[in-house]
Amino acid sequence: MANEGILEREVDFPGKACTLSAYVAEPQDGSAALPAVIVVQEWWGLNDHIRDVARRLAREGYLAVAPDLYSRQGHKVANDPNTAAQLMGGLKQADGIEDLKTTAAWIRNQKRTRSSKMGIIGFCMGGSYALLLPCESKELSAAAPFYGEIPPDTKIRELSCPVFYAYDTNDGWINRSDVDRLQKALREFGKQGEVKLYPGCSHGFFNDTRPDVYNAEAARDAWQQVLQLLSANLKG
């Protein structure tokens, strides 16, 4: 069974505006403390692909928590771009950050993760949050944003952990000039991080449920980069 050795559960916990929902996956064996990773959704919502990413992380020894950032909008999941755009447009950035901080606090209150390090990974919309949150919080020890928006340099200056940023050169959403700015800012501000370009790939190339954009070779490479980042900064 693909999920053998993994514990999966849906949880609810109080947020400032509403009850937040999240999907949790963790290794089944042992009671030792676990490093944790927040998994941030694409604009589609908390769907099966994001749950699968959480399960992959659980198989690598992490407690993975994927919060539903559309909890404020009734826990909706989109199957078409128009609906996804409406849902993403209905999520204020400040509210998304607030709910992610609440998620981090919930993780800190769990017995297996109370004293452990925490990372974050996100894709598309989630990639934007996965880069912005460590600029606004000191909770995180590693961040792996995929093709997300680049915050202003004033935010990047406050980046509090090592970063691996994955970018596709055929991206129709994120400007290459912003990605170049991120590379420059990391150097100028003395931040530990890598920006890796994947030539010929399109926005969403990691999502193996979307044959229109999925690139297996690039996705495998990016995943290995993520695992190296997390292992070096969360398991040490």
Residues known to be catalytic: 124, 171, 203
Q: Phi, psi at residue 221, to the nearest 5°?
A: -65, -45
Residue 24: Cβ-neighbour burial (10 angstroms; 0-12, 13-18, 19+):
buried
**Minimal CA–CA distance to 132: which of 163, 102, 107?**
163
For the stretch 89-126, what's the b/e string if a residue is b when 16 or more beta carbons lie within 10 angstroms of its beta carbon? eebeeebbbebbbbbbebbeebebbeebbbbbbbbbbb
The one-letter amino acid code at 175 reads N
- Report how far residue 63's alpha carbon sits from residue 39's, in angstroms, rounded to the nearest whole number: 10
Structure tokens at 204: 């969403």
